[in-house]
Chain A
Amino acid sequence: MMLLLRIASTHVRTRMRQTVVSILGVALGVGFSVAMAALMQGSQQDFMATLIDAIPHVEIQDEKREPTVQPATAAYDAVAFHGLRPLEDLRGIRNPTEALASLRDWVDGKLAQRLSGQAVLRYSGQDLGMTLIGVVPRRELAVSKIREDMRQGSFEALEATGNGLVIGDKAAERLGAGLGDTVTLTSANGIAKRFKIVGLFHAGIKSSDEGLAYAPLKAVQILLEKPDIINSISIRLNDIDEANAVAARAERQLGYKAVSWEEANEGLMETFFVRNVIMYTVVGAILVVAGFGIYNIVSTIVHEKSKDIAILKSLGFPETDIQQIFVLEGLVIGALGAVAGSVLGFGLSSYLASITFDISKDVEMTHLPIYFSALHYATACLLALFSSAIAGLLPARKAARLNPVDIIRGAS
Chain B
Amino acid sequence: MLLEARNLTRILPAVVPVTLVEDVNFEVGASEFVAITGPSGSGKSSLLYLLGLLDRATAGEVLIDGLETKDLTPAEMARIRLEKIGFVFQFHFLLPEFTALENVIIPMQKLGRLPAHEQREHAAGLLSDLGLQDFLDRRPEQLSGGQRQRVAVARSLANTPDLILADEPTGSLDSAATEQVFDSLHKIVENQKTTVVAVTHDLDLAARMERRIHLVDGRIDYDRPC
Chain A residues within CB distance 8 Å of chain B = 3, 7, 10-11, 13-14, 307-308, 310-311, 313-321, 403-405, 408-409, 411-412
Interface string of B155-195 (1 = CB under 8 A from A): 10000000000011000000000000000000000000000
A9 to chain B, nearest CB (A): 10
Given A10-B98, A318-B75, A320-B75; A412-B91 close (CB under 8 Å): yes
Residue of B nearest to A3 (CB): B109
Q: Which residues of B contact A10 (CB under 8 A)?
A: 97-98
Tell me if A315 and B52 are in contact (CB < 8 A): no
A3 touches B74 (CB 8 A): no
- In Å, the complex CA distance between A14 and B98 comes to 11
CA distance A412 to B93 in the complex (A): 11
Q: Given A316-B78, A316-B79, does the pair A412, B89 have CB atoms closer than 8 Å? A: yes
Which of these binds chain A: B26-34, B80-88, B124-132, B141-149? B80-88
| B200 CB-CB contact with A under 8 Å | no
Q: Which of A3, A11, A307, A317 contacts B78 (CB 8 A)?
A: A317
Q: Are A308 and B107 in contact (CB under 8 A)?
A: no
Q: Which A residues are in CB contact (< 8 Å) with B85?
A: 316
A315 and B87 form a contact (CB under 8 A): yes
Q: Chain B's nearest CB lies how many Å from the CB of A286?
A: 32
Assess the A412–B109 pair: CB atoms within 8 A: no
CA A31 – CA B133 in complex, angstroms?
49
Query: Which residues in B have their C-beta under 8 angstroms from that of A7?
Result: 95, 106
Q: Contact at A314–B79, with CB atoms within 8 Å?
A: no
Task: Give Cα distance in the complex from A281 to B145, angstroms.
Answer: 55
Contacts of B94 in A (CB 8 A): 311
Asked whether B45 is an interface residue with its Cβ less than 8 Å from the other chain, the reply is yes
Q: What is the CA–CA distance of A313 and B82 in the complex, to the nearest angstrom?
A: 9
Given contacts A405-B49, A405-B55, contact A308 B89 (CB under 8 A): no
Q: Are B49 and A316 in contact (CB under 8 A)?
A: no
| Complex CA–CA separation, A50 to B90 (angstroms) | 76
> Known: A316-B79, A408-B89. Is A3-B45 also a contact (CB below 8 A)?
no
Taken residue by residue from 48 to 88, chain B's Cβ proximity to chain A (1 for < 8 Å, 0 otherwise) reads as: 01001011000000000000000000110011111101010
- What is the bound-complex CA distance between A315 and B111, given in angstroms? 10
Q: Is there an interface contact between B82 and A405, defined as CB atoms closer than 8 Å?
A: no
CA distance A189 to B167 in the complex (A): 111
Cβ contact within 8 Å between B98 and A307? no
B93 touches A316 (CB 8 A): no
User: B113 interface residue, CB < 8 Å from A?
Assistant: no
Given A318-B74, A319-B75, A411:B91 Cβ within 8 A? yes
22 A-B pairs within 8 Å (CB atoms) are namely A3-B110, A7-B95, A14-B97, A307-B93, A311-B93, A314-B52, A314-B81, A315-B106, A315-B107, A315-B110, A316-B107, A316-B111, A317-B78, A318-B78, A319-B78, A320-B75, A321-B110, A404-B54, A405-B54, A408-B89, A411-B89, A412-B89
Interface size class of B (residues with CB under 8 A): 20 to 34
Interface contact B81-A315, CB-CB below 8 Å = yes
A229–B167 CA distance with the chains assembled, in angstroms: 103
Nearest residue in A to B79 (C-beta to C-beta)?
A: A316
B89/A316 in contact, CB under 8 A: no
A314's closest neighbor in chain B, by CB? B87
Chain B residues lying within 8 Å of A314, measured Cβ to Cβ, are: 52, 54, 81, 87, 89, 93
Partner of B95, one of A308, A321, A411: A308
Give 9 new A-B contacts, CB below 8 A, not counting A316-B78, A412-B45: A7-B95, A10-B98, A13-B97, A307-B93, A308-B96, A310-B93, A315-B106, A405-B54, A412-B91
A316, A319, A320: residue with the most chain B Cβ atoms closer than 10 Å: A316
Nearest-CB distance from B170 to chain A (Å)?
A: 13
How far apart sit A318 and B87, CA to CA, in the bound complex (Å)?
16
Residues from chain A with Cβ under 8 Å of B93 in the complex? 307, 310-311, 314, 408, 411
CB distance from B13 to the nearest CB of A (A): 13
Q: How far is the CB of B140 from chain A (nearest CB, A)?
A: 11
Determine whether the beta carbon of A3 is less than 8 Å from that of B54: no
**Chain B residue nearest in CB terms to A406:** B55
User: What residues on B are CB-neighbors of A412 within 8 Å?
Assistant: 45, 89-91, 167-168
> What are the 4 tightest A-B residue pairs by CB atom distance, in nearest-first order?
A316-B82, A318-B78, A316-B81, A311-B93
Of all chain B residues, the one with the shortest Cβ separation from A315 is B107
Known: A3-B110, A412-B45, A412-B89. A316 touches B83 (CB 8 A): yes
A307 to B96, CA, bound (A): 10
Chain B residues near A319 (CB-CB < 8 A) = 74-75, 78
A3 and B106 contacting across the interface, CB-CB below 8 Å: yes
Shortest C-beta distance, B88 to chain A (Å), equals 10
Instruction: Report A-chain residues with C-beta under 8 Å of the C-beta of B80.
Output: 316
A346 to chain B, nearest CB (A): 34
Q: Give the chain A neighbours of B107 by CB distance below 8 A.
A: 315-316
Chain A residues within an 8 Å CB radius of B91: 411-412
Give every chain B residue within 8 A of A408 (Cβ-Cβ): 49, 54, 89, 93, 167
Q: How far is the CA of A3 from the CA of B81 in the complex (A)?
A: 18
- Closest beta carbon of chain A to B17's beta carbon, Å: 17
Report the separation of the CA atoms of residues A311 and B83 in the bound assembly, to the nearest whole angstrom: 15
- Nearest to B94 among chain A residues (CB) is A311
User: Shortest beta-carbon distance, B177 to chain A, in Å?
Assistant: 18
Cα A11 to Cα B75 in complex, Å, equals 24
